[in-house]
Structure 1
Amino acid sequence: MLPDGYVLRPLSADASSALAAAAARNREHLRPWEPLRPESFFTEEGQREVIAGRLRQVELGLYDCWLLWHGTEVVGSANLQNIVRGAMQGADVGYWVDHAHLRRGLAVALLQHLVQRGHDLGLHRLGASTMVANVASQAVLRRCGFEQCGLVPEFLYLNGAWSDSLLFNLVLHDGPPRA
């Protein structure tokens, strides 16, 4: 449950200005956990391109994107990404919270929303990875029922280097896939 004053909305094409402002405001805060970004990523035009690409993936059923708003500012996001159907019925989770809005339970609320969306979409499992040093995100995952299930050396190229990642898993149900 989100604290008062926060609203979660699906990603929309008209969010480019607010997302560009959020990206610029959180550039240093998110730098250790993200790939290197071109300067265009921090502009409204760059965010228009990012949004257009993600909305295409939403249409294909590969992504489920949500933005966390506080007034007119985007202060976080929550995504189910790499949605796979067939025998797997799974997705990976991704989330972030604005540096000025930390320690309010927002990351937990975002992840709980993604778990509910996974149920709503009939997914069997959700996965996550965090850099070994990202203990805050690991605590959020554990608080939401995810279990650590592995370590992958040099898993992702983040902040200019290959980084080891801890893998987490959450099984949502044991029933057969929905028809």
Structure 2
Amino acid sequence: MRENKKFEIPQNMERVQKIIRHPAFKKSMRMIEALEKERIFCGHDMKHLLDVSRIAWIETLEQSLDYPKDVIYGAGLLHDVGKYLQYTEGIGHHVASADIGREILDDAGYTPEEIEEICRAILSHRNREAAEKTALGRILYQADKISRACYACPAAEACNWSDEKKTPGVIA
């Protein structure tokens, strides 16, 4: 018979749990959910953030890069967290996400160097040329684009993404 053990968070993911539980993260996710309720295009919900994080982690492993898992997940979870400010105040969500992310990362116990690298990747995740300047930026940019199933989207014809940005099919 199996013992009933309390679920334990792997030690290297404790900071990720602090991100998810952070009041600013929760507020952002509630605001985004409310503002995207009627959105026909792909959204910026927890599923998207986790998809980006997981794809970025796979890419990190495949490329043998030396990033801790919680740094990759920190970038993935926070890259769109400022989207509600783009909707409500016209602030680019990459800029708002880096600003909000900086506070959350600090409170979650990330080092100043990790915070700077994650925020630099968040700031560049919408621009391929800027993202290519750092390994984390490149991975975050690619994971964000690959995470979208444009080839199966019912709103693909109305989407304003360029063909270059749209994911053409299943990426293996």
TM-score when scaled to structure 2? 0.32
> Hey, which of these two has a bigger chunk of strand by percent?
1
